[in-house]
């Protein structure tokens, strides 16, 4: 049977239906099980080549994508922006058309989401978002997979605290909406999710039965939460706003006092990298509730699933 994702772009969580998200997670779980059974090499993408372009630094995404490709017998080619003529001003649309003649997929981490949209418009091969200013869909898929390993995602209260207007928060919100879960985002009003993302999530929620709440009160979000999630206060590319954002978000730190309000068996999640002493304390990050390493590992399994479903017919 042909994969419903075959040949498609993945720029946003919203590019996937609830059923397709379920499919990605089913395949990811199967790959994870096989990985632990010693079956790491699955030559499903033999002969395929994937270009990975990075306008910003990356540890998890870059390494897990390269390893995912290699474990599926594909060849990843990673470039920083300045390795390419893109860094000297060659237009995105020209880069897209040229790379499409050589590789089977283009994945990119970019500053502006529009760069991905342009890449996708001119590319004749699938384009995958490795993080933009708007979304981080591969992260959200791994996040949902991780939540499902500990909780019933449709029953759990998921509290996201901090900058609810960033890429990670947006994709998590859309992914929870798609899976019919319950998410409470706590942030100062200026850092609430972007209106278009919120509307998209609410539209999805009206179909899936998801519950979406926004609050300014971190304690209200934390009370009884099964999952507590946070991300950095200052995202890559926002360095000039660093002091202002740290001031705005000071009250949203995830620390032991806040975790005491959560469910007895709550888990703590963070996409990483973490800034200890800012959005989360060392104690919580290293504490028994923290599942951040498992969460990071799941990037590999989810991305193998995404690559296999998009690239093998
Ligand atoms: N979480 C995540 O995307 O990490 P990297 O920036 O290291 O890729
Ligand atoms: N919001 C963070 C996520 C890093 C993986 C950033 O964009 O820097």
Residues 98, 237 share a domain: no
Which residues in the chain come in under a pLDDT of 50?
Answer: none
Q: Known catalytic residue: 163?
A: no
Residues 143, 53 share a domain: no
Question: What pLDDT score does 1 carry?
Answer: 66
3-state secondary structure of 34: helix
Structure tokens at 116: 């991905």
Q: With a 6 A CB cut-off, is 232 part of the ligand 2 pocket?
A: yes
Question: What pLDDT score does 151 carry?
Answer: 98
The whole-angstrom distance between residue 129's C-alpha and the CA centroid of its chain comes to 9
- The residue among 19, 46, 144, 125 whose CA lies nearest residue 4 is 19
Residue 229 belongs to a domain with what CATH number? Answer: 3.40.50.1370
Instruction: Report yes or no on 5 lying in a domain.
Output: no
Nearest ligand 2 atom to alpha carbon 238: 8
Residues 95, 18 share a domain: yes
Number of domains observed in the structure of the chain: 2
Residues 148, 289 share a domain: yes
Instruction: Report yes or no on 41 lying in a domain.
Output: yes
- The residue among 179, 170, 186, 169 whose CA lies nearest residue 144 is 179
Structure tokens at 177: 């909406």
Residues 116, 158 share a domain: no
Q: 169 C-alpha vs ligand 2 centroid, how far in Å?
A: 10
Residues 73, 190 share a domain: no
Nearest ligand 2 atom to alpha carbon 168: 1
Spatial contact of 162 and 249, defined as CB atoms under 8 Å apart: yes
Residue 209: its H or E element: none
Residues 117, 195 share a domain: no
Instruction: Report yes or no on 19 lying in a domain.
Output: yes
Structure tokens at 148: 């499902």
Q: How many residues can be counted in the chain?
A: 313
Residues 155, 53 share a domain: no
Instruction: Report yes or no on 157 lying in a domain.
Output: yes
Write the residue with the smallest CA distance to atom 2 of ligand 2.
235
Instruction: Report yes or no on 2 lying in a domain.
Output: no
Q: Known catalytic residue: 22?
A: no
Instruction: Report yes or no on 153 lying in a domain.
Output: yes
Instruction: Report yes or no on 209 lying in a domain.
Output: yes
Residue-wise pLDDT tens digits, 56-67: 999 999 999 999
| Packing angle of the helix pair 195-208, 167-179 (nearest 10 deg) | 20
Question: What pLDDT score does 313 carry?
Answer: 72
Q: Which of 271, 289, 295, 303 is catalytic?
A: 271
Structure tokens at 222: 């934390």
Instruction: Report yes or no on 48 lying in a domain.
Output: yes
Residues 176, 124 share a domain: no
Write the residue with the smallest CA distance to atom 1 of ligand 2.
235
Residue 12: its H or E element: none
Residues 151, 291 share a domain: yes
Residues 179, 100 share a domain: no
Supply the range of the domain harboring residue 161: 139-295
Residues 146, 110 share a domain: no
């Amino acid at each position: 049977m042909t994969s419903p994702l075959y040949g498609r772009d993945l720029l946003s969580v919203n590019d996937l239906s609830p059923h397709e998200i379920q499919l990605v997670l089913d395949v990811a779980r199967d790959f994870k099980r096989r990985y632990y059974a010693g079956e790491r090499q699955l030559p499903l993408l033999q002969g395929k080549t994937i270009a990975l372009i990075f306008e910003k630094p990356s540890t998890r995404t870059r390494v897990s994508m390269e390893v995912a490709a290699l474990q599926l017998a594909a060849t990843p080619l990673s470039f920083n922006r300045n390795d390419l003529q893109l860094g000297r001003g060659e237009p995105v649309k020209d880069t897209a058309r040229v790379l499409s003649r050589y590789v089977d997929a283009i994945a990119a981490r970019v500053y502006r989401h529009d760069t991905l949209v342009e890449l996708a418009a001119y590319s004749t091969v699938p384009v995958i978002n490795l993080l933009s200013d708007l979304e981080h869909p591969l992260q959200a898929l791994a996040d949902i997979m991780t939540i499902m390993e500990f909780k019933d995602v449709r029953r759990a209260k998921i509290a996201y605290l901090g900058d609810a207007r960033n890429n990670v928060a947006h994709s998590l919100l859309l992914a929870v909406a798609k899976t019919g879960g319950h998410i409470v985002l706590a942030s100062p009003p200026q850092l609430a999710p972007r209106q278009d993302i919120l509307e998209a999530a609410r539209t999805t929620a009206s179909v899936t039965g998801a519950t979406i709440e926004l609050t300014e009160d971190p304690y209200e979000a934390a009370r009884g939460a099964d999952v507590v999630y946070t991300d950095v206060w200052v995202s890559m590319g926002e360095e000039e706003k660093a002091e202002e954002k740290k001031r705005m978000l000071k009250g949203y730190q995830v620390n032991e006092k806040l975790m005491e309000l959560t469910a007895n068996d709550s888990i703590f999640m963070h996409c990483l990298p973490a800034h200890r002493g800012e959005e989360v304390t060392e104690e919580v990050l290293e504490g028994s509730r923290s599942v951040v390493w498992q969460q990071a590992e799941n990037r590999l399994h989810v991305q193998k699933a995404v690559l296999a479903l998009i690239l093998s017919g």
